[in-house]
A and B are shown apart, each in its own frame.
Chain A
Amino acid sequence: MSTDKTNIPRRDFLAGAAAGVAGASLLGAFPASAQSAKTGTVRCWGEPGPYGGVAVAAMNEWAQKNAPGLKFEIETIPWDGVYVKLMTDLAAQRPPALISVESPIAMQLMAENLLVSLDDVVDKVGRNRIADGVKWEYWGSWKGKQYVLPAHHQPHLLLVRMDIIKDLGLKDPDTWDWNDLLAAARTISQKKPDIAGFTMALGRNLCTDYHFSALLHSAGGRMFDAANKFQVVFDSPQTVEALTFVKELRPYMPKGAVEYSFLQVVDAHVTGKTAMSFYWGRTLGRAAEENKAVFAATEAFNHARHPKTGRRSNWNDFQGWCIPIRNNPFIDEVKAALIYYQTSKDWLIKYSHSLVPNVAPTYKDVLDAPELRNHPIFQAKSRTVQTYFKDSLAHSSSSANEMLQGVNPLAGIVHGRSVLAQTVQKVVIDNMAPAEAAKWGARELEAIRRDNMRLLG
């Protein structure tokens, strides 16, 4: 693949130039005489992974030129601790200056009036840069204002060991529906007793919430009806169907899956203990480093279709940057640094390259940039990376924007209480009938709605 700049298509060149102009206009807004004289550490929260560090490095580049007394520092929060950490620190009124967080929590903070509006930042970053197939609101807008700036999008897909699929003569996973997935998991478990047919998280945690959300949305079910004052619609045949599907898959999962969260699902796949798993792109990054054979054999696919709806919903982490409004002395500086980093195609590509294919670019000029392909995993797994980066977008969903039918400010609270995971566990641990579990989950969701009507506007 050429990296010769003269080979960059005209469209990419223009998009990059537009971003450059935006950056230049920003620098114009911070002439040397108007540099920030503030000093101190600008605390930034991000999820585990190298990409938060790349973004902060970009912001420090801005600081060196425009605010020499400031230093941006990333603080990593484990996934399962993000809700507790956010809530306790915000409650104690010692928030960081900048947070990178998945959309359900961002939506909750936004609706609670705890975030700074970022419309001025979006204008400078470029409203028309957003990738085809997504909208700004997916990251976080409320009552006409944008509160979250895209960091990346990150769908979870079906990861499949193709060596095993071929060995057993199973058909192309891209053509599967739920019945095919179940049959494949069963066949693998029976014919390869040392390996689980399929793995998803079933613990009482965020990962299970996300995995189950995607199945629920594929079946056509939702937690809340955003168009009808967020009435709870969880007690539905679709929920029962999704829970029943999990129950049917359970015998072909590792026995320990009932305590699995993010890390354990990755571990199961990377160490070769499962033939298939639901996961984001991180698994491939880990496998590339730790188990070359698994990396070589694994491909990612959009999820198996629901037999009736045909939907292949994933849970897409529309991860974004948001700025807490309370007790934050660095709001102007963080906005400027964000604009600097988000208008630099180089930094955005470095960000995406830091863990391919886990963090997909969100702006067209970056997504289509030839330089983006200059990465060994992209070159080794071009189809899979493209599925994560682009092809999955048609199947995006999220608990914070169920089936993309409306922003849901209650989703963060739902995940904080692990309502979906607990509903799943009622079925797989307590042997509760799926219909009863759906009723239990609906009652929990109704309690959340009743307690938080103020968020629904």
Chain B
Amino acid sequence: MNRKTTVLPDRIVGLLFVVPFVVLAAVFMVYPVIEAIRMAFLSYNPLRPDLTTFVALANFAFIFEDPLFWDSFGQATVWTVLSIVFQTVFGVGIALLLHQALAGIAIFRGLLLFPYIVPTVVIALIWRWIFNPEIGVVNHALLAAGLIQTPIYWLSTPEMAMASTIMLNVWKYTPFVVICVLARLQTVPLELYDAAKVDGAGIIRRFLDVTLPQLKEVLIVVIVFRTIWTFNKFEEIYLLTKGGPGTSTFNLAVYSFEQSIASLRLGVGAATGVVMMVMLFLGSVIYLRVSGFGADEKSS
């Protein structure tokens, strides 16, 4: 019996493979963004949707006149910059340590993923206990070692609360940097190191002239993504400090949440999200231009 087979053109097959992603992206990414932009121009109380009105730019005027918005922006910048700096430094350092041909190194590489794979809510609640001034293990250890005489109130002063949230973020996301850097390190040709050794380059010279240039592209990408994700981060801060004490650890994501849910000003919360999106887009474009990302490919 003859079987009639239909052969689809490659172009159609390619499109069919892309369709599921396009549909999911449209539903879960594009639509929420469009809806957020639309809502940013509305006065919308979720309890009374019947009272929704168009308010033009009033929500943007509200946030730009709100001192808490600017405080949150400043704190978000501090939280993001310090988190990324520490994650990058520690991430590269740990990746270099793990890039050694030692017995059992795979176990360490696996353990390193632990903070990254544990849900944030679990991590944050555990850290609340760890940082507890009276019964927390950190103070207990420091007191037992004689490094401090009185308990440190980790989450009770603005400076310490900010430091604690940064510590949590660095601890949790440094493994991401390690994975990316380690993957790149494993593709660096060993001949480059051999040639550098022949030229008399020491370990620091080899790191600066061979390793770092080879890591440049991956670090640029990692820093862009980590910056976007950290700047937008909500759950770690909210679960650890709820933005406090006072509003000293508010970032723009917490500000947006407070405006939307606690104050029932969903339009203001959406406007904050739109402003964050524009800030991050512009910041990313400028950073990629300045860092020369992809310049080698273009020139070749």
Contact = CB atoms under 8 A, between A and B. Distances in A.
A255 interface: yes
B225 interface: no
Interface string B180-204: 0000000000000000000000000
Nearest to A88: B261
A205 B245 CA distance: 11
B246 A430 contact: yes
A88 B264 CA distance: 10
B18 interface: no
A417 B248 CA distance: 16
A90 B153 CA distance: 38
Interface in B40-63: 46-48, 51
Given A87-B46, A425-B246, A429-B246, A454 B51 contact: yes
Contacts of B155: 256, 259
A203 B241 CA distance: 10
Nearest to A202: B245
Contacts of A416: 261-264
B209 interface: no
Nearest to A451: B265
Interface string B258-278: 100111110000000000000
Interface string B106-142: 0000000000000000000000000001100000000
Given A255-B133, A259-B156, A273-B134, A422 B262 contact: no
A91 B48 CA distance: 8
A79 to B, nearest CB: 13
Interface string B130-166: 0001100000000000000001010111100000000
B244 interface: yes
B48 A112 contact: yes
B233 interface: no
B206 interface: no
Given A90-B47, A114-B47, A84 B245 contact: no
A30 interface: no
A83 B47 CA distance: 12
Nearest to A429: B246
Contacts of B175: none
Chain B contact surface mostly: loop
A203 B244 contact: yes
A258 B245 contact: yes
B242 interface: yes
If over half of A's interface residues share one DSSP class (helix, strand or loop), that class is named, otherwise mixed; here it is helix
Given A255-B133, A255-B156, A259-B155, A204 B262 contact: no
Contacts of B262: 83-84, 416-418
A112 B45 CA distance: 11
B159 to A, nearest CB: 11
A217 interface: no
A259 B134 CA distance: 13
B47 A204 contact: no
B243 interface: yes
A91 B156 contact: no
A204 B264 contact: no
Contacts of B263: 413, 416-417
A429 B243 CA distance: 14
A286 interface: no
Contacts of A256: 133-134, 153, 155-156
A259 B243 CA distance: 11
Among A112, A258, A430, the most chain B Cβ lie within 10 Å of the Cβ of A258
Nearest to A109: B47
8 contacts: A87-B47, A88-B46, A90-B46, A258-B244, A258-B245, A259-B245, A417-B258, A426-B246
Given A259-B156, A413-B263, 4 more contacts: A90-B46, A203-B242, A255-B133, A416-B261
